């Protein structure tokens, strides 16, 4: 009666697994886990890793045009960090039995998602400030939560990544504060960047909870500890105060402070724009994938040489 015993065996294993989650235990790669748990982690972590690597492109665009040597050095360090974050998280997916080359191929084939925010252009130097302040700021809110995820390797990766993200956010906010205190043209540049990056940054947290297809399962199994809307609200509350501190205006005519809850309530997010960009029709989707495909092709000889070396010296 193997079928029944397998079913009853699995249901008792599932009960044990869920008791471990309830007891806030860390699930490690060699532990038994439901196939759905493993699949959800691979989906989320692959997308996260892709986002880190594609996220290098909009900022990389300004490395050769940074206004000072100091700004250039800081931006170089940040972009290098993002590459490391991507590799770190790809390693995390490999503890779940996938091969990173397969995940990267899915991205190159246009079959994998990455954060929609990286499909917007970086038109001025102020965009580098806005990305550090808003995009890395949003990522910190999200990743601080993920540092408590039930899957050990992912949570531990987030602890290290969040330390570097804090530097990323500070350097971005310093750029915005410097421009906001500068000439009229510099102030206008900073405000223009805030206008263009504000709403796509709110979209980084995903659809509203009622439309989030994955959140229930992710929260049941302790991968997500807070919902998309809870994290978005946390980000908004922090960032409005930071915008006010440097006299920049958040581009939302409906924004209002709720004295009762202490929350800043935003106007409606344009989810048509969100899905348009997620589905590949954003301002830079083609440019980003073309750049990733070229980088992969240009780097093929390095990969071949490295594996030949490993084979020869194995």
Does residue 292 belong to the site contacting ligand 3HC (CB under 6 A)?
no
**Phi-psi domain of 150 (left: phi exceeds 0; alpha: psi -120 through 50; beta: other):** alpha
Residue number, 116 or 122, with CB nearest to ligand 3HC: 116
Least gap, CB of 250 to ligand 3HC (angstroms): 19
Are the beta carbons of 237 and 175 closer than 8 angstroms?
A: no
Least gap, CB of 302 to ligand 3HC (angstroms): 24
What would the x/- binding string for ligand 3HC be over residues 122 to 161, using CB under 6 A?
-------------xx--x--x-------------------
Does residue 214 belong to the site contacting ligand 3HC (CB under 6 A)?
yes
Residue number, 186 or 242, with CB nearest to ligand 3HC: 242
Residue number, 38 or 187, with CB nearest to ligand 3HC: 38
Are the beta carbons of 242 and 133 closer than 8 angstroms?
A: yes
Residue number, 21 or 188, with CB nearest to ligand 3HC: 21
Residue number, 55 or 153, with CB nearest to ligand 3HC: 55
Structure tokens at 128: 């580098």
* DSSP 8-class letter at 211: G
Footprint of ligand 3HC on 255-284 (CB under 6 A): 278
Q: What is the enclosing helix (H) or strand (E) of 33?
A: none
> How far apart are alpha carbons 102 and 125 in whole angstroms?
35
Does residue 116 belong to the site contacting ligand 3HC (CB under 6 A)?
yes
Cα of first residue to Cα of last residue in the chain, in angstroms, is: 46
> How far apart are alpha carbons 144 and 200 in whole angstroms?
20
List the one residue out of 173, 150, 169, 131 whose CA is nearest residue 33.
Answer: 150
Footprint of ligand 3HC on 222-261 (CB under 6 A): 228
- Return the residue of 218, 236, 243, 250 that touches ligand 3HC, per CB under 6 A: 218
- Return the residue of 93, 124, 171, 215 that touches ligand 3HC, per CB under 6 A: 215
* DSSP 8-class letter at 256: E
Look-up: residue for tokens 């908004």? 236
How far is the CA of 163 from the CAs of 25, 133, 139, 231, in angstroms? 23, 15, 12, 19
Packing angle of the helix pair 100-108, 35-54 (nearest 10 deg): 60
Footprint of ligand 3HC on 84-103 (CB under 6 A): 85
Residue number, 184 or 199, with CB nearest to ligand 3HC: 199
Least gap, CB of 145 to ligand 3HC (angstroms): 8
> How far apart are alpha carbons 130 and 89 in whole angstroms?
24
Least gap, CB of 181 to ligand 3HC (angstroms): 25
Does residue 82 belong to the site contacting ligand 3HC (CB under 6 A)?
yes
Task: Give contact residues for ligand 3HC (rule: CB under 6 A).
Answer: 43-44, 47-48, 51-52, 55, 82, 85, 113, 115-116, 135-136, 139, 142, 165, 203-207, 212-215, 218, 228, 278
């Amino acid at each position: 009666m193997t079928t029944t015993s397998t079913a009853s065996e699995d249901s008792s294993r599932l009960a044990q697994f869920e008791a471990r989650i309830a007891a806030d235990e860390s699930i490690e790669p060699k532990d038994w886990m439901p196939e759905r748990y493993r699949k959800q982690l691979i989906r989320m972590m692959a997308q996260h890793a892709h986002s880190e690597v594609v996220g290098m492109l909009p900022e990389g665009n300004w490395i050769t045009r940074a206004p000072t040597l100091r700004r250039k050095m800081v931006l170089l360090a940040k972009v290098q960090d993002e590459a490391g974050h991507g590799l770190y998280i790809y390693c995390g997916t490999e503890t779940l039995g996938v091969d990173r080359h397969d995940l990267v191929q899915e991205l190159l084939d246009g079959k994998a998602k990455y954060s929609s925010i990286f499909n917007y252009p970086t038109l001025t130097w102020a965009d580098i400030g806005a990305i550090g302040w808003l995009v890395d700021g949003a990522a910190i809110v999200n990743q601080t939560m993920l540092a408590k995820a039930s899957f050990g390797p992912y949570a531990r990766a987030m602890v290290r990544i969040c330390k570097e993200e804090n530097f990323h956010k500070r350097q971005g906010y310093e750029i915005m504060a410097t421009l906001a205190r500068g000439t009229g043209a510099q102030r206008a540049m900073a405000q223009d960047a805030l206008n263009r990056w504000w709403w796509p940054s709110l979209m980084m947290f995903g659809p509203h909870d009622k439309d989030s297809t994955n959140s229930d399962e992710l929260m049941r199994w302790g991968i997500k500890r807070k919902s998309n809307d809870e994290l978005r609200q946390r980000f908004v509350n922090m960032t409005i105060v930071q915008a006010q501190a440097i006299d920049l205006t958040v581009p939302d005519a409906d924004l209002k402070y709720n004295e009762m809850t202490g929350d800043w309530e935003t106007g409606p997010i344009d989810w048509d724009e969100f899905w348009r960009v997620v589905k590949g029709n954003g301002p830079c989707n083609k440019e980003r994938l073309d750049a990733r495909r070229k980088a992969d092709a240009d780097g093929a000889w390095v990969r071949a040489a490295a594996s030949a070396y490993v084979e020869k010296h194995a």
